Chains A and B, each alone.
Chain A
């Protein structure tokens, strides 16, 4: 793969805690844009952004329509909308049908980001109780990007990482605690 320019992360059940752990250990000088799609039951992600910001070493913002992806910033998908990345590396939203019961859908984010960033993208699938993200991660890989999956044995909910491994496979399968150091190493050569 090329030097990574963006990281997309998907998670569901157990995701908030996992993200807190992950974001607290990322190096604050990372220059990649980071985009998170986490299924939450709630109608806004304001609170989630606040909670994440308390732990994160990088700024956390809700991803907004048409805005460019910013390096060194964690962008969180708004609830109720699919979040897509345009080839121009700006965000787009849609209210298209749910994809396997989810909107935002990790697959939708990963597919579009994979086409925008091709082999300069890292996809990360964390804990979750469904299979969203598996096809998206396969798309990341087929575009030359790199795939990281949380070790199912280590995940609060194993289904999502298991589906990802089954459908997409992974370049790295690691416990949560090892993923931030791995990203730091891959992103800061």
Chain B
């Protein structure tokens, strides 16, 4: 029955760190070997569980950063000061070390290559992670669905996936918004995403784009409110809120 299939799918599996890449001084992409992984959709997340030698466990959710690729999955973890799990995963956690992972979870904040509507992705900080999985799934599928990505970050040093995003891809249009410090040579005042940004860089509401917004709560609230005010259909706006609960 369906139920059994789901509970099987959500079993905890042992994953081991196969590779890692530092995205920024405080964010690390972790590539895991995860035998028996059933695959996933871009935008879904997993739960990661760490167990200490005394049996204590801590569990957190992390978005899948890349589309399904056999028994390998990628997460990108932002170190949170004093964060129980993120400090371990971006620090002492080493090649070959195990963690337990279950998933994939979430079937709402997902993009499928068969979806034909234009797509607007709006990322705040580490909220880029599930949106990057969509960008990569879009590229891998080679479909023509037009994508726009608006990526808000404090400073250029906080850019994740820098090299990959720098490489132009047909059908993907990227706008950066820097809130504290601009890259060298960019003559604009740092500012947060506002109506003007979305008016210029997002699809016009009549295009019926599906909008995915991910980032800290305040960011997601603001962007979603502006998109609604600009006439976007609230039913086409999907949000995922994470990052520290204190903005």
Q: Do A and B come from one complex?
A: no
